[in-house]
Chains A and B, each alone.
Chain A
């Protein structure tokens, strides 16, 4: 079949017109709301830099650890895959040697050596994870909290490579079937995003203390407050005790401080 130039142009023209017509029919955006606005909750807790002191002297029985971890993991819908490879953790424990790398020595007291230390995201003042995230899915809030916006996370895991504290977990699998009791007030995550402790922003924004802090408020094993306020409880505890941070030499400036304690908590 042969076609001359003229016929070809005619057909091309008609096709183009049809296309333009369809495009014009679709797509009409609704107008924006002008009068509406947003504001923070009136009883939201505010700070310059939220921080936590973990008083290891107060962690004595396995129960002391369990209640803190359970408080966090149950309200935040953390799945339990039952294997360490897929594990998701916001707050967990590890040995002194792994927690304070380079601080261990062979004559350290048995009590400290054997004791599990409580770990969570340090909400660093200069977070390495935030610097590397290509989509700004992880970012620092005005109050110092290093937050995750799961909607934006593309699962590249740069942040996991950058964080020197192993504070981040990746959802290799769909977490939904592995969550025991859903907290219906809080979302889950999906396969392919990174998650970690958020210092309970959703609670702070409503005037409540983080869930783990509240779970041990009788012993005050975890003290939470504003590092920027000299009158705050964390600042008081920091003034009155000798505290250390994890890997300060790396320059991320963690906001989680530890009172290690000595042999008095043996057994």
Chain B
């Protein structure tokens, strides 16, 4: 092989750089994000009714799709009331409804969004609540 003196160290350096994220994180435990749901509004709900508007599983996987649908429904359709699958009525508003309970954006929204490195642009316009931890 010609130039093996250069090629082999080259390959080794290349591999070292490419695999850097793996070995630099090796051994560290990667903590799963735990979004907090201990806000005053949620604490005040009676024990049995302490639920989000839909099941936790659905909200976890589908809240972004739901917010998109809400946006179209409110702005383009003028429908502002969401009737959940259990028949309850909610005001379709990120700022006034979701955040009324989840008033802890830093410990709720941001937890998973940071972990997954997604940057939703909701907060460019929708005003995030003043963190009111108590």
Contacts and interface: CB of A to CB of B under 8 A. Distances in A.
A binds B: yes
30 contacts: A30-B58, A30-B65, A31-B62, A32-B65, A33-B85, A34-B85, A36-B84, A37-B83, A38-B73, A38-B77, A38-B79, A38-B82, A40-B78, A40-B79, A41-B81, A44-B78, A142-B78, A147-B75, A149-B75, A151-B71, A151-B75, A184-B129, A186-B127, A187-B95, A187-B126, A187-B127, A190-B124, A201-B78, A205-B80, A206-B80
Interface in A39-73: 39-42, 44
Contacts, number: 77
Contacts of B131: none
Interface of A: 1, 30-42, 44, 77, 139, 141-143, 147, 149-151, 182, 184-190, 201, 205-206
A50 to B, nearest CB: 12
B118 to A, nearest CB: 14
Nearest to A77: B127
B95 to A, nearest CB: 6
A1 B1 contact: yes
B61 A38 contact: no
B81 A38 contact: yes
Please report whether the interface of chain B is mostly helix, strand, loop or mixed according to DSSP: mixed
A37 B84 CA distance: 7
A216 B7 CA distance: 81
A201 B84 CA distance: 24
Contacts of B96: 185
Interface of B: 1-2, 7, 54, 58, 61-62, 65-66, 71, 73, 75-85, 92, 95-96, 121, 124-127, 129
B127 A188 contact: yes
Nearest to A149: B75
Given A149-B75, A188-B127, A205-B80, 5 more contacts: A38-B81, A39-B79, A40-B78, A139-B76, A141-B78
